[in-house]
Structure 1
Amino acid sequence: MNRRDALLSGLALTALISTPACAQTKPSTSVEGYDATVFAEGIEQPWGMAFLPDGRLLVTEKAGTLKLISADGNSAQVITGTPEVVDYGQAGLLDVAIDPKFSENGLVYLSFSEAGEGDTAGTAIARGKLEGTALTGTKVIWQQSPKVEGPNHWGSRLAFSKDGQYLFATLGERASYRDKVQDLGTTFGKTIRIKPDGSIPQDNPFVKTAGAKPEIWSYGHRNMQGGTIHPVTGEFWTNEHGPQGGDEINIARAGKNYGWPLVTYGEEYGGGRIGVKQKAGMEEPLHYWVPSIAPSGMWFYDGPHAVWQGKLFIGSLKFKYLDMITLDGEKVVKEEKLLTEFRERIRDVVMGPDGALYVAFDNADGRIVRIVPKGA
């Protein structure tokens, strides 16, 4: 059972536990097409979210804290046993995911910025078992190499494959190291595919390529801060920040090269071309934005509300809205801006066991907002 199925399986239980004995009034807004209610508040720079089957919500705070929000959103507990993180620039505690067999094994996965020697650091993935308010047996199962200096462009989203056998992760190119993105001997600007214990699937595309990192799934990416599994095809969809313009949506396919920095629809900060817009042998983005919207977390909706069925939701950090995207197969045919009334940077979006979408606002005093279609 994958993460999405696990969430839906908790729907009946959540319906029983999500209403507190003494209901608490929370700020809400009603806009054409949807209703929004503040679900939880006081979260310092939330970055990633993952629901447990019983309706509680794990949320990472960039500075290094993992919190467990109650099913009604009224209380939060700090989870101990998390890895030590580097917190500067865009570094910190990043995404969180639960194991597809969480109900059996209690495993939680975290991506984070891990210190190296001197001033170096790299993206890493750890997992531990959630027992009460602690992660036990926490162990780093994957580390980016080499570790380098610099505060920016770490990625990093986590997503389990539809069959639950593999874990995908997105990795940024670390800003100053774009010359390494086309190098298969590094994991800068790559998506990776590993097993839940960190071992390498032997059908990964570069397992038998001399000098290549065997965990690499696709390459030629810039800074991917969104990634999600298509609920029907099972493919791994990602978004990435372009430079000045050229943010992209891609389907990360085995062994494919997405061009950065040789191909982009963006330009240098302050002006000036970077490479070309198209190049033979390199994948075209499914969709791109000029100017950049600074895309963040993304989620395919496959819950009970038919009006949202099949739509792709992506947060915009720069323009402070939730982008609701209508697709025709792999073609974007319509974009609609949601949550503009809040005027806050959107960092992540996930679906809850109740079929609502939960959206994290990236602020020092961050909030999570629950949204449903009008009249749901």
Structure 2
Amino acid sequence: MRDGRWVDQETIWEAQKEFYTVFTDVAAGGRLAFDDRGHLYMSVGAEGGSTFNGIQDLSTPYGKVHRIYDDGSIPAENPFYGQEDIIASIYTYGHRSPQGLEFNYFNGELYGTEHGPRGGDEINHLIPGRNYGWPLTSLCMDYDGTRVEYGRELGITFELADIEQAGVDLTPSLAVSGFVIMDSGQFPQWQGHLLAGSLKARSLFRFVIDKNGLIHRENLLKGFA
């Protein structure tokens, strides 16, 4: 950028072409977030449609949050860095449709919002190396009314204790979208609170959360979209 105009660009990261898909991007994710240490985080959702391909497979980019440096290099402290047949940029995995991604400068942690199918929308504290469960388990139903428990179908065995449970479960679904973490002198009483849009409820919500989960939820604006 120069004088308010886009004058040049450089590609610093791209998925391998073998992972390109013809599916529509209904669960694509695609959020970006920077932290205060020069890292860039990127969310990549499911491959598309109702497929579960590769979400639990660390050799594919699908259903992951990735972390690189802002020059495109891979941080050596990434949880799977240097491991054979694993994409080194992976930071967390087991995501379905990561709609929001923000770094909290107040506590130095990364947070994300995510769509489930029927219920199972989530707000999560994203911890490096952790598995967020999709499509092995979720606090929701699939679109056909069945429980989300596809481990046996996919040939994946797991312990529930190894799955990072939803920090905040938003069931029934709000279709929670992008969000911001408040840092404004105009609303000092909301410092560090999370403001999230809702596609389904056509509303703007304020969430107060801590390490134990949801403290308070308020609908600030209704029917505005």
Indicate whether 1:300 and 2:181 are aligned. Answer: yes
Match of 1:134 in 2: 5
CA distance in 1, matches of 2:15, 2:175: 24
Residues 303-358 of structure 1 show CA distances to partners (whole Å, capped at 9, x for unaligned) of: 2122212211111011111110122444212111112152x1xxxxxxxxxxxxxx
- Asked if the contact 1:171/1:187 (under 8 Å) is kept, the reply is yes
Trace 1:1-376 onto structure 2 (pairs within 5 A): 130-145=1-16, 146-152=19-25, 153-163=27-37, 165-176=38-49, 177-275=51-149, 279-304=160-185, 305-342=187-224, 344=225
Give CA-to-partner distance per residue, 1:141-171, whole Å, 9 cap, x none.
Answer: 21123111101221121111123x1001111
Paired residue type of 1:250: N
CA distance in 2, matches of 1:294, 1:229: 21
CA distance in 2 between partners of 1:258 and 1:204 (Å): 17
Measure, in 2, the Cα distance between the counterparts of 1:201 and 1:136. Answer: 28
Answer whether contact 1:179 1:261 (CA < 8 A) is retained: no
Question: Which is worse superposed, 137-146 or 256-265?
Answer: 137-146
TM-score of the aligned structures, taking structure 2 as reference length? 0.88
Partner in structure 1 of residue 156 of structure 2: none
- The answer on whether the counterparts of 1:249 and 1:287 sit within 8 Å (CA) in structure 2 is yes
Larger radius of gyration: 1
Give distance in 1, aligned partners of 2:202 and 2:47.
24
Q: 2: distance between equivalents of 1:205 and 1:141?
A: 20
Q: In 1, Cα distance between the equivalents of 2:100 and 2:121?
A: 11
SS in 2 for 1:192: strand
SS of the aligned residue for 1:135 comes to coil
SS of the counterpart of 1:332? strand
The 3-state SS of whatever aligns with 2:192 is: coil
Residue 174 of structure 1 deviates from its aligned partner by: 2.5
State the 1:139 CA deviation: 2.3
Q: Which has the higher strand share?
A: 1
Offset at residue 241 of structure 1 (A): 0.5
Structure 1's unaligned 5+ residue stretches are: 1-129, 345-376
TM-score of the superposed pair, with normalisation by structure 1: 0.54
Distance 1:329 1:306, change over 3 A: farther
CA contact (8 A) 2:47 2:53 kept: no
Q: For the Cα contact (< 8 Å) 1:296–1:314, is it kept in 2?
A: yes
Give the AA of the match of 1:141.
I
Match in the other structure for 1:12: none
User: Per-residue displacement from partner, 1:224-265 (whole Å, max 9, x unpaired)?
Assistant: 010111122211100111111101111111111111000111
In structure 2, C-alpha distance between the alignment counterparts of 1:196 and 1:186, rounded to whole Å: 21
Counterpart residue type for residue 172 of structure 2 = P
Match for 1:299: what amino acid?
V
The 10-residue stretch of structure 1 (289-298 or 267-276) with the greater mean CA deviation from structure 2: 267-276
Moved more, 139-148 or 177-186: 139-148
1:133 Cα deviation after fit: 4.9
2:53 match: secondary structure: helix
Q: Deviations over 1:75-119 (max 9, x none)?
A: xxxxxxxxxxxxxxxxxxxxxxxxxxxxxxxxxxxxxxxxxxxxx
Gaps of 5+ in 2: 151-158
Give the structure, 1 or 2, with the largest relative contact order (CA under 8 Å, sep 6 or more).
1
What RMSD in Å do the two structures reach over aligned CA positions? 1.7
